[in-house]
Amino acid sequence: MPIVSSICLILALVAATVIGAQTRSWTWGPALIPLALAALAAIPTLWRKSCAYADWKSQLCCILAVAWFAWRALSSSVAEFGHADLVLIASAVAAFAATRTLTTTPAALTTLSWGTACLLAANLTVAAIQMRNPGYSLVFPGSATEHQITGFFSHYNPAASFLIATSTLIGAQALFGKLRLWERLLWGLLAIAGLLTIIPSGSRGGIFGAAVSGGILIILALVHGKRTQAKWFGPAVIAFPVVLILVGLFLAYGWHSAQTARGMDASLAKIFDNSPRLSMLGIAIACVFTHPVSGGGARSFSWESFHFTDAATHGELSMRKPEFVHNEFLQTATDYGIVGAALLLAVLLACVARSIFHISFDEQHGSSGDKLDAWRIGAAAALAGILAQSCFSFVFHLLPIAILLGILLGVLSTPGQETRSWKTTGVALQATFLLIACCAVLLPAGAIASRLSFSLWPVYFGKPGTLSRESKIDRLSDALLIAPTAEFHMRRATILRSDDGIDTEKPASADDLSRAVDDYAAAARLHPFDPTPRINRANLLSALGRTHEAETDYQTAIQLQGGMESAFQGHLQYSLHFARKGDRQLRENHPSKAVDSYTSAVDQIGKSEEKMHWFIRDMRLTKIRHYEGLGIAKEQAGDISGALEVYESAASFPLGRRLYYRAALTYGRMAREAWSNRKPGQALALFIMAETQIRKVRRDLPEGVTLEQKKEYRAHLIRTIKFLKGARITPAELTD
């Protein structure tokens, strides 16, 4: 059975790496089924005498950690996030248990070793092709760039984590494993190539993790050499400083290369002065103290962070919706509380401490060394590397890295001595129940996700034109019957909003827009903390004239977005709604109501500008249009002085000089009215004011007004003023 478990584990890792290396849990299906089979195949081995380890204290700690994480995942406020985290937990546990049973069978370990080496070689092959052809991607379109080589992966950070773990494991086997010479050379070259490929990946955290992994590998190698009294121990101690210098040079060169590729300052001070990451850590700590014991539930940081973010303090960070903390320890504390973080740390320390003890002081094997020493050294170094990288990224939230984590911990937790006592039966019983529970999660999740992957892959990753708009909608509708998630509702709504399923500037039919409204409403119910579906639904309701419903959604979205106006633009979109409402009221000849609507639009755009990190040109133009609409509405409502006050005050804003033209038109109409009322002095004064205003206008004009029209109107004003002055009319003094 260990051979079966080993083969299934490798198949799961291959499927997870090739098509499941992303945070979309519906792509994990093909990997979950063989992973569950690996766990099931491991159960009989747990009851064998050689596998009946008397380590009930460590296992109890693991069970408590798994139980806590599973409970908090199941009770999370957003079910799809809780389900994804639960699947990751079950996957790591299944890989952990399967790996522990493999250690009793040399053939199973060899199978796992060769499977890992072949997968690493395949990934390096894809990476090599990408270096020559940066646009190449085996699965995910556009995942690699000239300066970020990702291999099978869709992002450079998990690509680096994979390379750290597999390269270090294979490298330790090459150094200390019982291999033939050609195997040793082949695996050594693979390990070196894998670690060096982390540099063109551009992952700064990955480069740091690789350096940490290399340093730990060297230290553990010396410890192992001392214990086994190896002949190379003396020369290795002498070469130790030189090797550490080489590791330091690898780190320095890698960071310099990554910074240069980004077009950033490559100095060491600049690398550590990463304001967005430091700000994110501060926000995460604030989220932790919101519910320090139990946490906010799976991925709660992705919405709780909104209320601790503002543009003035956090700058560019407020422009992007944060999904993860980019630090797995803080992510754990945020989502699962200090209790969850403490349990995770306890499990890691227990596994590492057991492994270090056996590497350093295993008296049973003495100078001969344990057959698992190579695995333990590689696993300890690999774990150190990916844990170091996890301080800068969210690597454990991807299935292949979760599986690798389980494999590493499974190796590290394997005892050196095999005994049977009354406690071992309880240990096997606990492990059996735990694996059955994991399979109860993985098998149905794998079956459902496999169906979804087969149906939705062309929708998400197919080439443009592969599927028609109707086919995409049908496939998403089928997916929603299988697994109703906010993501699928949002995706279908986006397609429904446009006539061709791509360009949302081409509006769809009223029926499709109504269906999109319903989809956004469903997404908001499934993820009640995300402002995005609320804002999108409100925009559609506003376009459909369902004003009251739209305003309710806008207000809710603004509350949800917290200080993230730069990312979600709730106030900005609300202002556009009021402007559309004001336009409609002007067309319907309700200028007084339009004044109220445009006043609200001006108020909302002001709040948006106050909370924005960057108030760009288009937003400034929107602000000026709102003021322009308010002025027009006041004119039509008979408040001429109020309209002029709006025009002249807004004209002082950036891009606002166009409103001098509106002021000039208003003064011109007032002048003609005064002339009609036989007040020539007042008319002349008003014509002069109109000409003064239009003289301030440059080439930036209101929409629909040409430069020729402006020139003609100014020439008309100049002729009129000249005529009135020639008639010896004296301009009157204007009063409010």
Cβ atoms within 10 Å of 363's Cβ, excluding its own: 8
Average pLDDT over residues 460-475: 87
Cα 102 from Cα 119, distance rounded (Å): 19
Type and span of the H or E element at 312 = helix 311-314
- What does the block give as tokens for 388? 């170091």
Report pLDDT digits (tens) over 601-625. Answer: 999 999 999 988 888 889 999 999 9
pLDDT of residue 35: 95
pLDDT of residue 44: 84
pLDDT of residue 76: 92
How remote is the C-alpha of 416 from its chain's centroid? 41
- What does the block give as tokens for 641? 């002085």
Cα 175 from Cα 188, distance rounded (Å): 8
Cα 488 from Cα 234, distance rounded (Å): 61
Nearest to 367 by CA among 222, 488, 576, 226: 226
Report pLDDT digits (tens) over 644-677. Answer: 999 999 998 998 999 999 999 999 999 999 889 8
* In contact, 533 and 523? CB cutoff 8 Å: yes
Facing residues of 507 across strands? Answer: 498
Average pLDDT over residues 502-527: 82
Average pLDDT over residues 85-110: 90
Nearest to 629 by CA among 584, 668, 673: 584
Cα 281 from Cα 314, distance rounded (Å): 11
Residue 323, CA atoms < 13 Å, CB-side half-sphere: 9
Strands (E), 441-590: none
Cα 466 from Cα 461, distance rounded (Å): 10
Sign of the CA dihedral with 691 first, then 692, 698, and 702 last: negative
Report pLDDT digits (tens) over 434-462. Answer: 889 999 999 999 999 999 999 999 998 88
Cα 644 from Cα 659, distance rounded (Å): 10
Cα 357 from Cα 220, distance rounded (Å): 11
Residue 193 has pLDDT above 50, yes or no: yes
* In contact, 664 and 691? CB cutoff 8 Å: yes
Cα 10 from Cα 120, distance rounded (Å): 12
Nearest to 488 by CA among 474, 508, 499: 474
Burial of 677 (0-12, 13-18, 19+ CB in 10 A): exposed
Type and span of the H or E element at 441 = helix 422-461
Nearest to 661 by CA among 635, 623, 697, 713: 697
| 504 — pLDDT class (breaks 50, 70, 90) | very low
Cβ atoms within 10 Å of 676's Cβ, excluding its own: 9
- What does the block give as tokens for 685? 């004064």
CA angle 546, 552, 553 (to 5 degrees): 90
Cα 326 from Cα 340, distance rounded (Å): 17
Average pLDDT, the chain: 87
pLDDT of residue 471: 92
> Amino acid identity, residue 485?
T
Q: Which residue has the tokens 């493999």?
A: 102
* In contact, 33 and 423? CB cutoff 8 Å: no
pLDDT of residue 269: 59
- In Å, how far are 154, 157, 159, 714 from 22, measured between CA atoms? 7, 11, 11, 62
* In contact, 574 and 554? CB cutoff 8 Å: yes
Report pLDDT digits (tens) over 558-601. Answer: 999 998 998 999 999 999 999 999 999 999 999 999 999 999 99
Report pLDDT digits (tens) over 3-26. Answer: 898 999 999 999 999 998 888 999
Residue 507 DSSP symbol: B
Residue 380 has pLDDT above 60, yes or no: yes
Burial of 616 (0-12, 13-18, 19+ CB in 10 A): exposed
Residue 125 has pLDDT above 70, yes or no: yes
Nearest to 437 by CA among 28, 163, 66: 66
Sign of the CA dihedral with 534 first, then 539, 542, and 544 last: negative
CA angle 614, 619, 624 (to 5 degrees): 130
pLDDT of residue 203: 87
pLDDT of residue 424: 60
> Amino acid identity, residue 117?
A
Cα 223 from Cα 230, distance rounded (Å): 10
* In contact, 359 and 223? CB cutoff 8 Å: yes
Cβ atoms within 10 Å of 270's Cβ, excluding its own: 12
* In contact, 651 and 697? CB cutoff 8 Å: no
> Amino acid identity, residue 8?
C
Residue 354 has pLDDT above 90, yes or no: no
Average pLDDT over residues 492-500: 82
Buried b (16+ CB within 10 A) or exposed e, 600-614: bbbebbebbbebbbe
Buried b (16+ CB within 10 A) or exposed e, 442-478: bbebbebbbbbbebbeebbbeeeeebebeebbebbee
Report pLDDT digits (tens) over 26-53. Answer: 999 999 999 999 999 888 887 765 454 4
pLDDT of residue 252: 86
Cα 578 from Cα 438, distance rounded (Å): 52
* In contact, 64 and 375? CB cutoff 8 Å: no
Radius of gyration of the chain (CA): 33
Q: How far apart are the first and last CA of the chain?
A: 95
Sign of the CA dihedral with 74 first, then 76, 80, and 84 last: negative
CB neighbours of 627 closer than 8 A, spacing ≥ 6? 602, 646, 647, 649, 650, 653, 656, 659
Average pLDDT over residues 334-352: 92
- What does the block give as tokens for 176? 């200390």
- What does the block give as tokens for 625? 């249009």
Average pLDDT over residues 548-556: 95
Cα 50 from Cα 424, distance rounded (Å): 11
Cβ atoms within 10 Å of 249's Cβ, excluding its own: 11
Three-class SS of residue 148?
strand
Nearest to 169 by CA among 204, 125, 120, 202: 120
